[in-house]
Amino acid sequence: MSLIPNTSNQIPLSSNGAEIILGNATTSEQIAIPLAPTPSTMFGPRAACLLSPTGPLWVADTGHHRLLGWRNLPTKDNQAADWLIGQTDFFHEGQNAKGTPGKSTVSVPTGICKCGNGLAVADAWNHRILIWHNVPEDKNVPADLVLGQANFIDNEHNRGIQQPAANTFHWPYGVLCYENKLFVADTGNRRLLIWNQIPTENGQPADIVLGQPDMISRNENGGGSPTASSMRWCHDITIWDDNLVVTDAGNNRVMIWDGIPTENNAPCAVVLGQKNFNFVELNQGVYFPSRSSLSMPYGVDAAGNWLIVADTANSRLLGWKKRDSILLLQGADADGVLGQDSFKSKSENRNFGLPTRQSLNWCYGIKVCGENAVVSDSGNNRVLIWKF
């Protein structure tokens, strides 16, 4: 990917703001935000994934407990979705469609990614990951495989037992498939699980755990003080320059490993957002943010030489450019900001105003595909498609 030079502390996205806005129109006359489900509205979307530069686009419409799909990359604001998974039609909502879990229902979906030739979804409150072997191209296409549960009907956290195992989840909020490996942010168990190959059987156990000493532990920060190995509230995952990157929102930091770990509880190499591995206060213990601080970062993705983080509680995107050595990123200042007028601002929609094409309000997700950055602007009940 070729990105334009950054000359003004701005992540290299269009200065005109989002090219396309889905979900919530941004007219000056707007007073109330519509929350009722329709083919073109959303309620607190936490994740979106553009599967190729031309589409399809899939969005986790989290608050409406459904997935919305566009056959092609949308070309106009407020464009209606073509497909739906999780509800009987575009005008109903409710966890598991107000029924029991199944192959085409969801309850608080929070993560979505391309998985082989198909799709993987973090179905957080059903405590499972759903996998489609092929990208769904119709209404309520049933999933082919489930992880975290033995079948498509059960939905108790850790399969009804307090102690986790290699084949259970508690609020899995994030999912990533990369080079035939599967990564899941098992948030409620304060750990990241890795499958060395994309699973082929329902309920298949993971191969590697990060954030905990073993597969049966789930304490915050491993039961002690924060370290380079521990997690509190991991949420999203990406690979940047062949290095694993995980947002640890509960510790107000982003963890970066040197490569992709192959052993349990391997420590990360550096963190962004904190000065060291032991300090975890939001915005490094002060009210206003800075170039190097974070407050509940939930989303992350790589864009060429850039790593872009959704600094959720600061309602901004922060960007770091690649360094000569990964170690130079420890506590490093960000190179760009988007969504705020400066690195020291944190208010929703800049000055608590109406949303604009340049503003953000508790952005939960950022995913990049080609020249498009897809931002889940959850607090504004919308998804933004931004151009590099």
pLDDT digits (tens, 9 = 90+) for 56-109: 999 999 999 999 999 999 999 999 999 999 999 999 999 999 999 999 999 999
Give how far the C-alpha of residue 2 lies from the chain's centroid of Cα atoms, to the nearest Å. 24
pLDDT value, residue 7: 42
Instruction: Quote the pLDDT of residue 6.
Output: 40
Q: Tell me the average pLDDT of the chain.
A: 94
- Average pLDDT, integer, range 262-271: 98
Split into its structural domains, the chain has a count of 1
Do residues 366 and 49 touch, judged by C-beta distance below 8 A? Answer: no
Distance between CA atoms of 363 and 299, rounded to whole angstroms? 8
Q: For the chain, what is the largest distance between any 2 Cα atoms, rounded to a whole number of angstroms?
A: 55
CATH number of the CATH domain containing 272: 2.120.10.30
pLDDT of residue 353: 87
Q: Do the domain assignments include residue 28?
A: yes
Tokens, residue 137: 């191209």
Q: What is the pLDDT of residues 120-176, one digit of tens each?
A: 999 999 999 999 999 999 999 999 999 999 999 999 999 999 899 999 999 999 999
Burial 146-159, CB ≥16 within 10 A → b, else e: bbbbeebebbebbb
Q: Residue 27: what pLDDT?
A: 54
Q: Take residue 10 and report the two structure tokens written for it.
A: 């701005």
The sign of the CA dihedral 342, 301, 328, 2 is negative
Give tens-digit pLDDT for 300-321: 999 999 999 999 999 999 999 9
Q: Distances in Å between the alpha carbon of 267 and those of 211, 236, 253, 277, 308?
A: 8, 17, 14, 10, 22
Considering the chain, what percentage of its residues have pLDDT values greater than 90? 91
d(CA 214, CA 288): 37
Residue 34: which pLDDT band, with cuts at 50, 70 and 90?
A: low
Q: Is residue 7 part of a domain?
A: no
Q: Mean per-residue pLDDT for 274-294?
A: 97
Specify if 14 maps to a domain.
no
Q: Within 13 Å of residue 15, how many CA atoms lie on the same side as its CB?
A: 8
Q: Which domain holds residue 194?
A: 20-387
Is 293 a residue whose pLDDT tops 70? yes
Is there a domain that residue 6 lies in?
A: no
In a domain, 8, yes or no: no
Tell me, what's the pLDDT at 4? 34
2 falls within a domain: no
